Amino acid sequence: MDKIEFVIPTHKRVDLLTTIISSIVAQTNPNWRIHVVADCPPEDVKERYLDIIAFFDEHKDKIKFSTTKIRFNDWGHTPRNIGLKQATEEWVLMTGEDNYYAPTFVENFLSSVKDRDDVHFVFCNMVHNWVNDDYIPIQCAIEFGKIDVGNFMVRTHNAQKLELKENIEQADYVFIEEYLTRFPEGKIIHVDKILYVHN
């Protein structure tokens, strides 16, 4: 059974982590895993993160927490790379701690690839607060500014051959370009629904 592994980088924004984990725990399809990779948070913050993980004790076998030994402060790219390299599920999705997902996100994504070994990249539409903190719907496409690191999943075994560029703010789009260039034979599916909120 295919599963999606969500890789979530974080540092100090503890309350946001509760929101994104809650949105994943509430999924209608339970075939997900989470790996939270904290970017060397202060010890008191790390303890608060561990309290959050403990709050979701019912799902403790599906939620992993780890920390880096040094602070990278690179938009979460190094923590995402760490989570990517350790991912074990068929699909991986690298997101952000300030994002969250509609309850049918996993259901829609996994149903779109059921019995489809030829598919290797799936993305959906999103809501984004780009302009004056107003949330606006985005009809997503594989173009710069119309896709985000949190609204696409890729085959883990392919993605692990690449990595996000640590010191480039737009590393998520560079990753997409490199992925699709490296693996041009796979099919792409656009789930034409708003299933993701980027903050």
pLDDT at 130: 67
Range(s) of the domain holding residue 190: 4-198
- Output b/e per residue, 101-110; b: 16+ Cβ within 10 A: bbeebbbbbb
Q: Residues of the chain whose pLDDT is less than 50?
A: none
- Domain harbouring 134, CATH code: 3.90.550.10
Burial class of 53 by CB neighbour count within 10 A (0 to 12, 13 to 18, 19+):
middle
pLDDT at 101: 98
Global pTM reads 0.96
Spell out the long-range contacts of 11-15 with Cβ–Cβ below 8 A and sequence spacing 24 or more: 11/38, 11/39, 11/40, 11/41, 11/45, 11/71, 11/73, 11/76, 12/41, 12/42, 12/45, 13/97, 13/98, 14/45, 14/48, 14/49, 14/52
What residues are paired with 38 via a beta bridge? 10, 67
Judge whether 144 and 170 are in contact, CB under 8 Å: yes
Judge whether 118 and 29 are in contact, CB under 8 Å: no
pLDDT per residue as tens digits for the range 60-77: 999 999 999 999 999 999
Judge whether 112 and 121 are in contact, CB under 8 Å: no
Q: How many CB atoms lie within 10 A of CB 99?
A: 22
pLDDT per residue as tens digits for the range 126-158: 998 866 678 899 999 999 989 999 999 999 999
pLDDT at 112: 98
Q: How many CB atoms lie within 10 A of CB 149?
A: 24
pLDDT at 166: 72
pLDDT at 133: 73
Looking at the structure of the chain, the number of domains it has is 1
Cα-Cα-Cα-Cα dihedral of 100, 167, 93, 122, to 10°? 100
pLDDT at 129: 80
